[in-house]
Amino acid sequence: MKKIVLLTILTLSTLLIAQQTDKTIKAGAGVSYLAPTAELGNRFLSTPGFYLKVGKSISETWTWSGTVEYFKFDKINSDMAFVENSYTIGAEQKKVKTSLTGLDMSLTVAGVSVVADYKVFDAGVLHANLSGGFGIYNWVYQRAAYVDSVFYINGATKTGVDKIDAPAISQKDWSGGFRLGLEIVVDIYGPLKFNAAAYYKNIIAELFMSLKLGQQNVASFQMGEFTAGVSAEF
């Protein structure tokens, strides 16, 4: 039911755009830089992506567009990739911190969205738009099995005290998401324009916790998104 509702919203929005046949058509492409925040940022570092965008202006200030995008998080945040546990060694309580060297996981995301841009500033060759969008995202999370031993080192003595044994896991789903931000547009030559933007993006999806790896539950995919590209008007 959730998928049907989301697809219906996108379809109706696309039809609304298509009805404005007498307005300016806009098309563009570019690259993105996505910086995960909150609990997602504890698992991954920033990553590049790309997008395609086609739309129509429906008035002097409003533009509706459809966007296709893709990105993949696969660089591990090594500063947060560790397990810390307490053990009684002899008569002492010791904390042992173990780095998760070689941890292999990724989050791949592809999506389509409907975006509304509202022009808030126009100075000839320079424009600024408030931008908001809603879309559907297909995502796949994969983590390879991880096995390691936990050691306590006392001087020259290395003593094993525990074992980390986390099985492989795979999650995938379709989820809704949204983004809000500001876009700057600069006229280059004729119909060509340069676009740069900064957004807050949130995909409403969940990654399960793994206490064996010290990973908490990710309640949603929150990130900052920065884009740069070129577009043209016809």
- Per residue in 108-144, pLDDT tens? 999 999 999 999 999 989 999 999 999 999 999 999 9
- What is the pLDDT, as a whole number, of residue 6? 53
Domain-embedded: residue 91: no
Q: How far, in Å, CA of 124 to CA of 110, rounded? A: 35
Q: Count up the domains in the chain and report the number.
A: 1
Q: Which residue has the tokens 């609990």?
A: 39
Domain-embedded: residue 155: no
Q: How far, in Å, CA of 150 to CA of 178, rounded? A: 41
Question: 3-state DSSP: the chain helix, strand, coil percent, rounded to 5?
Answer: 10, 70, 20
How high is the mean pLDDT of the chain? 88
pTM for this structure?
0.86
Domain-embedded: residue 104: no
Domain-embedded: residue 7: yes
- What is the pLDDT, as a whole number, of residue 24? 81
What residue type is assigned to position 196 of the chain?
A
Domain-embedded: residue 141: no
- What is the pLDDT, as a whole number, of residue 159? 66
Of 56-60, 88-92, 110-114, 185-189, minimum mean pLDDT range: 88-92
Q: The domain spanning residue 192 has which CATH number?
A: 2.40.160.20
**Per-residue pLDDT tens over the stretch 142-195:** 999 999 887 766 666 666 677 889 999 999 999 999 999 999 999 999 899 999
Domain that holds residue 47: 2-20+27-78+110-135+170-233
- What is the pLDDT, as a whole number, of residue 1? 47
Percent of the chain with pLDDT over 90: 69
In 3D space, the residue among 171, 175, 178, 172 whose CA is nearest the CA of residue 223 turns out to be 178
Q: How far, in Å, CA of 91 to CA of 110, rounded? A: 53
Mean pLDDT on 192-215: 95
Domain-embedded: residue 229: yes
Contacts of 204 (CB under 8 A, 6+ apart): 175, 176, 177, 220
- What is the pLDDT, as a whole number, of residue 48? 98
Mean pLDDT on 21-49: 92
In 3D space, the residue among 36, 70, 73 whose CA is nearest the CA of residue 224 turns out to be 36
Q: How far, in Å, CA of 101 to CA of 188, rounded? A: 47
Q: How far, in Å, CA of 55 to CA of 13, rounded? A: 11
Q: How far, in Å, CA of 100 to CA of 146, rounded? A: 8
Domain-embedded: residue 193: yes
- What is the pLDDT, as a whole number, of residue 176? 97
